[in-house]
Each structure stands twice: as structure tokens, then as C-alpha cells.
Amino acid sequence: MCEGFVAHCVGIGTAGRIVGREGKLLIDTFERTLRVNLLGTYNVMRIDARVYSLLVKPVIHTAPRLAKA
């Protein structure tokens, strides 16, 4: 079992110029690329964090208290 590791290797890329010979890049094309890549990455991290939180005991760190003068 590999602990504490997730490999997210999926994404899309769209080639296009903001303003090219054929006109401008459609915002829908750019938005789809951002949606797939950013939300996909966030979703993988969200699910991984949930699974990891169920596997690992929480560690509670407490700062030493300062003595009152």
C-alpha cells in the first residue's frame, strides 16, 4: 500500500490563439479547458484528503503554556 500519495495525470489542452487568423478563441472552449483541469484536480484532492483522513489518526499538537509572571 502506498500511503500519502496520489497521482493525478488527466487533463485536456486546447490549442488556439486569443486572436488568430480565424478570429478569436471561443470563451466556451477556454472555459471547458479550465473547468476540466481545475475542477478535476480539486475533485481528486478533495477525495484523496477524505480517504487519507479516514486512514490516519489525527495528531493534536499543543503549544507549551507560558508561566504567568
End-to-end CA gap in the chain: 51
65 or 11, which is more confident:
11
Mean pLDDT of the 42-61 span: 85
Nearest alpha-carbon partner for 13 in 33, 28, 27, 31: 33
Angle, vertex CA 46, rays to CA 49 and CA 63, nearest 5: 45
Distance CA 18, CA 38 (A): 20
Q: What is the pLDDT of residues 16-50, one digit of tens each?
A: 777 878 777 788 888 999 999 999 999 999 998 88
Quick one: pLDDT at residue 8? 82
Mean pLDDT of the 1-7 span: 66
Distance CA 67, CA 16 (A): 64
Domain ranges of the chain: 19-55
